[in-house]
């Protein structure tokens, strides 16, 4: 697989990563089977998807424990990315950016992941009660201590600015400018896909101009852009899509033209090309610093996602995707 680099330290990863969250949290709990998920991790690594993205809150904790079982055997093959700063409470999430907590959380993640160093440690959310510089300084100390190789930041929620027509990533960029004065940012993670292209306005260019990697979260639109979901099929109660406005039967039906367009492009690339591969290839074309991180818990889909790195979209393909209707329905 093609290799891409993250940050000024030029940390090398496969062009397509693996999001591990669905294996343990937020998606279809009845399908979260540990052994199959382990096979998915191994299949991704075999296919060149070296970046494994997790977080301590996924589960919580169980996703890191699962990943640790694979890393025990294949640490040298993997680029490990995990996150800190969010605590999962009863029906809500709370940010914690206190330096002491960050240090303890890192040690706990290292134990669960069964490794002595985290390749990319990301701040999941800034704590509104703690200056972000203090949190980032504690994370930088972990780099000095040899426990972490590089630091990243996840984009904050943007629903209010998106609804008002403002830049949805204005707050994230302000945070980035602040923490960059403390210690270099190697990567930023935010949603980017054919049906959620907001990050292309300012956030992706900000990263490119500064040599910062961009990890594209939800590049397959939480499964919608694969073309495998049927309007009205319903989701289990513990699946986040059961409460997502874009996954009502009405909105899924209304947004089928987006999938149909991806399917047309895939058909031009012959047998084996899928809407999902086209969606990932589109993300890859948004910059050499961009690495899509599609999530899955199935080995066969991990292999298919990795294969998207070999799909070369033409200018005609890109023009057809650009002409697709904007997705209907709220993001949040």
Question: Rounded to the nearest 5 degrees, what angle is found at the Cα of 248, between the Cα atoms of 242 and 249?
Answer: 125
Q: Is 34 helix (H, G, I), strand (E, B) or coil?
A: helix
Distant-in-sequence, close-in-space partners of 226: CB < 8 Å, separation ≥ 6 = 220, 274, 275, 276, 279
d(CA 170, CA 149) in angstroms, rounded, equals 27
Find the distance separating the first CA and the last CA of the chain, reported in whole Å. 34
3-state helix, strand, coil in the chain (%, to 5): 45, 15, 40
Which conformational region is residue 120 in: left (phi greater than 0), alpha (psi within -120 to 50 degrees), or beta? beta
Token pair for residue 200?
Answer: 């292309």
Q: Which residue(s) pair with 191 in the sheet?
A: 217
Furthest-apart CA atoms within the chain: distance in Å: 54
Q: Are strands 51-53 and 118-123 parallel, antiparallel or unpaired?
A: unpaired
Contact status, residue 295 vs residue 22, Cβ threshold 8 Å? yes
Token pair for residue 264?
Answer: 């047309």
Question: Which residues are marked as active site?
Answer: 58
Cis, bond preceding 181 (omega within 30 deg of 0): no
d(CA 247, CA 229) in angstroms, rounded, equals 10
């Amino acid at each position: 697989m093609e290799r891409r680099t993250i940050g000024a330290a030029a940390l090398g990863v496969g062009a397509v990563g693996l999001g591990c969250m669905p294996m343990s949290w937020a998606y279809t709990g009845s399908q979260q089977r540990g052994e199959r998920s382990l096979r998915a991790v191994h299949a991704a690594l075999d296919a060149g998807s070296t970046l494994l993205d997790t977080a301590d809150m996924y589960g919580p904790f169980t996703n890191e424990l699962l990943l640790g079982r694979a890393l025990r055997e294949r640490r040298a093959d993997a680029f490990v990315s995990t996150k800190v700063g969010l605590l999962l409470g009863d029906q809500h999430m709370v940010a914690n950016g206190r330096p002491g907590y960050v240090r303890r959380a890192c040690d706990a993640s290292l134990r669960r992941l069964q490794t002595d160093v985290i390749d990319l440690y990301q701040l999941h959310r800034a704590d509104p009660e703690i200056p972000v510089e203090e949190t980032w300084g504690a994370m930088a100390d972990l780099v000095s201590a040899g426990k972490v190789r590089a630091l990243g930041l996840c984009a904050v929620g943007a629903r209010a600015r998106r609804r008002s027509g403002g830049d949805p990533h204005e707050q994230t960029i302000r945070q980035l400018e602040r923490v960059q004065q403390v210690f270099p940012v190697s990567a930023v993670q935010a949603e980017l896909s054919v049906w959620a292209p907001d990050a292309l306005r300012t956030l992706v260019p900000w990263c490119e101009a500064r040599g910062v990697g961009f990890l594209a979260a939800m590049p397959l639109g939480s499964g919608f852009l694969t073309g495998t979901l049927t309007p009205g099929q319903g989701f289990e109660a513990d699946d986040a899509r059961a409460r997502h406005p874009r996954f009502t039967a009405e909105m899924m039906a209304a947004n089928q033209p987006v999938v149909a367009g991806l399917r047309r492009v895939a058909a031009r690339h012959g047998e084996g090309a899928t809407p999902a591969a086209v969606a990932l290839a589109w993300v890859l074309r948004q910059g050499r610093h961009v690495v899509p991180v599609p999530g899955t818990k199935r080995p066969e889909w991990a292999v298919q996602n990795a294969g998207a790195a070999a799909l070369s979209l033409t200018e005609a393909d890109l023009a057809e995707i650009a002409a697709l209707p904007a997705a209907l329905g709220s993001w949040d």
